[in-house]
Amino acid sequence: MTRRTVHEVGGAARTKGQEIVEGLQELADALRTGEPLEMRFTVRTFKIAPPPAYDGEDVRRVRDLLGTSQAAFAGFLGVDPSTVRSWEQGLRSPSTLACRILSEIEANPTYWHNRLAACLIGPETRRSVTRTEVKSRRGQKPPTANKTR
């Protein structure tokens, strides 16, 4: 089922797909003719401030906000535990992307603590888990082993 938009042209409603195709055709026409895009479209330019630099103490402080080990923090960030260790020891500096994530964690540690908790899988699980499985597990109690007497 396709949803109709509020826009009507000549009395006929257009689908979102039709609007997208028309918009892309209009863009292609402007590019083909060499017309400056600003003349036909709304163009906004934003500058994003770079993230702050983090030294070893800063990385440790952010990790402590989440209350995690170096290994768990590394897994959450998608880096090797030795990378987090080298950051905290001051041997290497975090990349700009890592600094951005550290900054976001620092800005809202509760949110990121909850996100970390949603990513955790139990120690009894040795296989990787799909995103769908992680989503379906949220809010559920961890499974308990059946005890027989």
Do both 26 and 86 map to the same domain?
no
> Per the domain annotation, does 116 fall within a domain?
yes
Q: What is the rounded distance in angstroms from the CA atom of residue 74 to the CA atom of residue 82?
A: 8
Contact present, 42 and 27 (Cβ < 8 Å): no
Q: Give the model's pLDDT for residue 13.
A: 78
Tokens for 109, please give them: 């540690």
Do both 22 and 61 map to the same domain?
no
Per-residue pLDDT tens digits for 66-82 = 999 999 999 999 999 99
Q: Which of 19-23, 29-33, 134-138 has the lowest mean pLDDT?
A: 134-138
Do both 24 and 71 map to the same domain?
no
Please count the structural domains in the chain: 2
Q: Which residues are CB-contacts of 43 (< 8 A; sequence separation ≥ 6)?
A: 37
Q: Could you say which DSSP state residue 85 is in? A: H
Q: Give the model's pLDDT for residue 146.
A: 46
Do both 27 and 78 map to the same domain?
no
Do both 88 and 33 map to the same domain?
no
17: containing domain: 11-40
Sign of the Cα torsion 102, 108, 113, 115 reads negative
Contact present, 54 and 93 (Cβ < 8 Å): yes
Do both 32 and 76 map to the same domain?
no
> Per the domain annotation, does 91 fall within a domain?
yes
> Per the domain annotation, does 129 fall within a domain?
yes
Do both 35 and 65 map to the same domain?
no
The pTM of the full predicted model, rounded to 2 decimals, is 0.56
Do both 81 and 109 map to the same domain?
yes
Query: CB atoms < 10 A from the CB of 24, how many?
Result: 10
Do both 34 and 66 map to the same domain?
no
**For the chain, give me the number of helices (H) and strands (E)?**
8, 2
